[in-house]
Structure 1
Amino acid sequence: MKFTTRLLGAVAVSAMSLSALPAYSEGGTLVIASTQVPRHLNGAVQSGIATAVPSTQIFASPLRYDENWEPQPYLAESWTVAEDGLSVTLNLVKNATFHDGKPVTSEDVAFSIMTIKENHPFQTMFAPVSSIDTPDANTVVINLSQPHPALLLAMSPALAPILPKHIYGDGQDVKSHPANSAPVGSGPFMLEEFKAGEAIVMKKNPNFFIEGRPKLDEIIVNIIKDPSALLIAMENGDADIYPFMAGSQEIKRLEKVDALEITSEGYAAVGPINWLAFNTASEKLSDVRVRQAIAYAVDRDFITKALHRGVSKPQRGPIIESSPFFDGSIPAYDTDLDKANALMAEAGYGDGMELTIDYIPGPKEQQQSVAEYLKSQLKKIGIELTVRAAPDFPTWAGRVGGHDFELSMDVVFNWGDPVIGVHRTYLSSNIRKGVIWSNTQSYSNARVDEILGAAAVELDMDKRRALYAEFQQIVAADLPIYWINATPYHTAFSKKLKNAPKGIWGTMHPMDMVEWVE
């Protein structure tokens, strides 16, 4: 068992005082270090790391996935898929309750899936859901307008938190509902305290529906905006897990700490791509020749080998290169300054132009360093680039989600299946102001919409590959995004942890089996 009296403020990792810290008990406390600030904790209407890590502890989902990509029971103890692929029946466990003691019923599941369909950035995730029947309190029948090859994966913890209808069904806008910052779920941990920008404290759910779980008494997500302070916290044992670590210096530094294990496992379903996004609604960037010129001016190999010290791998397209759907024949836009300058002149910008680039605050090597490199590189083709910093993640998200940007660095996930994580960026129907990680580029191509619509219902693997190959060739020509590298996510964690989160969703998965061993 782990007993601790660590002061979270010892390395400026939190503004919480000792008196504000919850008492530690037999199961021990797990401290997760994070640089990202969540806007709220409701993963039903918000994607991303900052929200998904706490959301998957607070809320349960219909299914969960093992390390072999196989669906496992969670709120649904069993399920059946109709032979025609047009319905899925979930049989819910009968002992699940929300943290306020109310039972989890089929009405909650139906309400949650429809809420996610209407409000989540990933519109394709539940788009084929036409209706949901609830013949009794423990049976859910999801009716589909067309087969949906990614439906079971879409019911994972990171994507489908089950909300209490008696709280969220009160007529208020779910995206701004006050419960988003004080959520009541049915997951293994209950929210104790949410100090925006500082820490999230979650206590063990004593009435969790899986007997003997969770093993821990408490999880604290400590938001440490200073990367140096975060590393010191991990080295000193003031934090136990640092997930989504992408910086080469961080990785190499923490590899030297005897008490820590470093792994790249836990990101198989994430498919993270670091890219440069173009606002195609901008007058200057609406011309594809300008976007292509910028692509030809960038040296992807220099970024991955020099800036990232070889820990990153080049990424040439919208589908992660490790995916069976990636098309290796996609144009790579290898560096060619002569071609770039010629395209700028063709587009009427032979005398140059001015642009502004944003980046996500926090992961400097993958974001800020690349933005600053682009400033010097694009000067070679007559572009004066202003690097615009954001004080925190919500500020950056507000700019990009509000389409108030020209260029922006970004990290976007494939989320296991292209239907879930790729389509959202390129479908014209997903141009939705105010929603990050949707089609914030305002990209629209009718043929792309048609291809992705067909791929979303195609169950034959070879036919899906062919559709996605055509899609990749089109978007590579249109270039609403210049793809740079696969983000080299690693997790550092204490060697005293048992069952550390190494599954396909990593820490974006319930940590009810994680425990301390001495």
Structure 2
Amino acid sequence: MSLTRRQLLVYAGATTTLLQLSPRFSFADEPPVRGGTLRMHIAIEPPILVNLTHTAGATVYIAAKVTEGLLTYDLDLNPRPQLATAWTVSDDGLEYTFSLREGVKWHDGQDFTADDVVFSLQTLKASNPRGRATFANVASVTAINPHLVQLTLSKPAPYLLKALAACESPIVARHVYGDARPETHANATAPIGTGPFVFKEWVRGSHVILERNPNYWDAPKPYLDRVIVRFIGDSAATVAALEAGEIDISTGGVPLSDIERIKGNPRLSVDDRGEPYVNSITRIEFNFDNAYLQKHEVRTAIAHAINLDFIRKTIFLGYGKPLYGPISPDMKNFYSPDLPRYAFDVAKANQLLDEAGLARDGNGVRFKLTLDPLPGPETYRRTADYIKQALAKVGILVTLRSQDFASYVKRVYTDRDFDFTLNGMSNLFDPTVGVQRLYWSKNFQPGVPFSNGAHYSNPKVDELLEAAAVETDVQKRFALFAQFQKQVVEDLPDLGVLTLVNPVVYDKRVKDFFVGAEGLGSNGAQIYIKG
């Protein structure tokens, strides 16, 4: 059941009052400590620092600390004020009104106004890979006055109120961009925001430095003086830096095999809850433009040849849950457990390939494929090694290809020079935003990263996705997504491997880093270092 216009106003107003009385999202039993530097590590260096026209995953851990959103979210995905202090939604779901926070300054001293929101949302709709779908039904964005914005929709968008976090829909400064193309603007790599931290420098291949914003609207926050984000791709070096006290917190950079040992370190701790706003999964995606992988029986044979339980237990050491379809089981409002499954059965896989007329040659090889695993945590490479061995048993000779992140993205999404890939994707907070992009035929757009890389097209799936995107009845929407999941599992454009958990390893002195749905991707204003 959705909240009425009046309920939303009362809720937002009460929340704002509550936040003014106590530190937002702080569950500490003691007052936060002011000062200090947080040394944060991420394994993959992002290509940009603002997710305005790009959706690079690692960007989220930096972007929101500089560039904020209209809303933020608690651990149950309930919206909370950020740059918007109150909001209403009309009963028909076609009009959204946001009251904006007054007295907010951009880092260059200019005033934050409704014009910035209008520009940002229009740009997200026009140029962001996910924003195209998220804001597809937004017919107009209007500045009613400097602190009031109205969105008028052509059709309902039941997911929209959850799509306004900084890491998903950043609000940027209109005056900074001017008339330049947002896709190539320098603000993407040297951002000016309203957030608690001001961008200082980015040394490629090394680090990003963010300094405390002395004019932040939510004084006395932020508590930290500085955030230094270090990029270390080598997992052994990451562990060594953590244990030596050179890094305070790391996400996704520590080998799972080291987690139990690290838990015994009296100075370090591990948080493996996962981020409710992100809902990451790992999957094998097939390129339908490949002559072999176009055949359903070949994809089915591959599914039977891979022991997903082995991957989850042996390579991921039990971190994560089985994934039988396109939607994470952690998305309880959308996940359907009643799906077809492909049991591990090597004999069945060989039978299917024989029936497809793909006989073995004198060396026992039926055909060859190249697998491109996503550059990043060592679990991807280890899983790719296992897939190579597993498919060799059914006569498929796999070559593994390694490359940096930028080369991987260009190869898969622009050049389309790949056979199949092992990748990680975010289901996000709603399937229309995080899942639809991967299976909707209209989202096959070469050059747009993290979209329909398979070149999958099924009119029935398109119809289900488009209907779910505008359905406001919760039960009917669930039914549409249940049908969608079943059809995708039958068609096999990809094979779910598991839900993904990237444990955060941190120094116990670091407090309040995970207090909302965005996890370490929050703006970080509440983080402090004790002692």
Q: TM-score, normalised by structure 2?
A: 0.90
User: Tell me, which stretches of 5 or more residues in structure 1 are unaligned?
Assistant: 1-24
User: Which of structure 1's runs of 4+ aligned residues deviate more than 6 A?
Assistant: none
Matched, 1:415 2:428: yes
Selected match of 1:163 from 161, 172, 175: 172
Report the residue type matching 1:342 in the other structure.
Q
Selected match of 1:145 from 141, 154, 167: 154
Q: CA separation in 1, counterparts of 2:498 and 2:515? A: 22
**1:506 matched residue in structure 2:** 519
**1:354 matched residue in structure 2:** 368
* 1:257-284 C-alpha deviation (Å, 9 max, x unpaired): 1111211235122211111111112222
**1:91 matched residue in structure 2:** 99
Report the residue type matching 1:228 in the other structure.
A
- For structure 1, which segment, 210-219 or 237-246, has the greater mean C-alpha deviation from structure 2 after superposition? 237-246
**2:346 matched residue in structure 1:** 337
Q: CA separation in 1, counterparts of 2:34 and 2:425? A: 39
* 1:198-218 C-alpha deviation (Å, 9 max, x unpaired): 111111111111121111111
Look up the SS of the partner of 2:41 in the other structure: strand
Asked whether the equivalents of residues 235 and 254 of structure 2 are also in contact (C-alpha less than 8 Å), the reply is no
**1:319 matched residue in structure 2:** 327
Q: CA separation in 1, counterparts of 2:268 and 2:301? A: 44
Look up the SS of the partner of 2:239 in the other structure: helix
Selected match of 1:466 from 476, 479, 501: 479
Asked whether the equivalents of residues 117 and 126 of structure 1 are also in contact (C-alpha less than 8 Å), the reply is yes
Asked whether the equivalents of residues 265 and 506 of structure 1 are also in contact (C-alpha less than 8 Å), the reply is no
Q: CA separation in 2, counterparts of 1:126 and 1:218? A: 34
- How many Å apart are 1:354 and its aligned residue? 0.6
Matched, 1:395 2:407: yes
* 1:442-494 C-alpha deviation (Å, 9 max, x unpaired): 11111111101111111222111111111011111111101011112211112
- How many Å apart are 1:178 and its aligned residue? 2.1
1:87-236 → structure 2 map (5 Å cutoff): 87-122=95-130, 123-172=132-181, 174-236=182-244
Q: CA separation in 2, counterparts of 1:105 and 1:344? A: 61
**1:7 matched residue in structure 2:** none
**2:396 matched residue in structure 1:** 383
Selected match of 1:33 from 41, 65, 83: 41
**1:485 matched residue in structure 2:** 498
Report the residue type matching 2:347 in the other structure.
D
Asked whether the equivalents of residues 359 and 389 of structure 1 are also in contact (C-alpha less than 8 Å), the reply is yes
Matched, 1:257 2:270: no
Selected match of 2:283 from 275, 292, 303: 275
**1:56 matched residue in structure 2:** 64
Report the residue type matching 2:344 in the other structure.
T
**2:418 matched residue in structure 1:** 405
Asked whether the equivalents of residues 358 and 388 of structure 1 are also in contact (C-alpha less than 8 Å), the reply is yes
Q: CA separation in 1, counterparts of 2:233 and 2:252? A: 14
Q: CA separation in 2, counterparts of 1:127 and 1:297? A: 40
Q: CA separation in 2, counterparts of 1:311 and 1:93? A: 40
| Aligned residues between the structures | 491
Asked whether the equivalents of residues 266 and 505 of structure 1 are also in contact (C-alpha less than 8 Å), the reply is no
* 1:320-349 C-alpha deviation (Å, 9 max, x unpaired): 012222221211211122221222233332
Q: CA separation in 2, counterparts of 1:264 and 1:124? A: 30
Q: CA separation in 2, counterparts of 1:404 and 1:32? A: 34
Asked whether the equivalents of residues 197 and 223 of structure 1 are also in contact (C-alpha less than 8 Å), the reply is yes
**2:7 matched residue in structure 1:** none
- How many Å apart are 1:26 and its aligned residue? 6.5
Report the residue type matching 1:33 in the other structure.
H
* 1:377-417 C-alpha deviation (Å, 9 max, x unpaired): 10122111000011x22222222222221111101011111
Q: CA separation in 2, counterparts of 1:176 and 1:347? A: 47
**1:289 matched residue in structure 2:** 297
Asked whether the equivalents of residues 274 and 501 of structure 2 are also in contact (C-alpha less than 8 Å), the reply is no
* 1:67-103 C-alpha deviation (Å, 9 max, x unpaired): 2321111111111111111011011111111111111
- How many Å apart are 1:134 and its aligned residue? 0.9
Asked whether the equivalents of residues 270 and 414 of structure 1 are also in contact (C-alpha less than 8 Å), the reply is yes
Report the residue type matching 1:219 in the other structure.
V
Asked whether the equivalents of residues 272 and 502 of structure 2 are also in contact (C-alpha less than 8 Å), the reply is yes
Q: Percent identity?
A: 36
User: Tell me, which stretches of 5 or more residues in structure 2 are unaligned?
Assistant: 1-32, 361-365
- How many Å apart are 1:307 and its aligned residue? 2.0
Report the residue type matching 2:460 in the other structure.
R
Look up the SS of the partner of 2:393 in the other structure: helix
Selected match of 2:469 from 456, 464, 484: 456
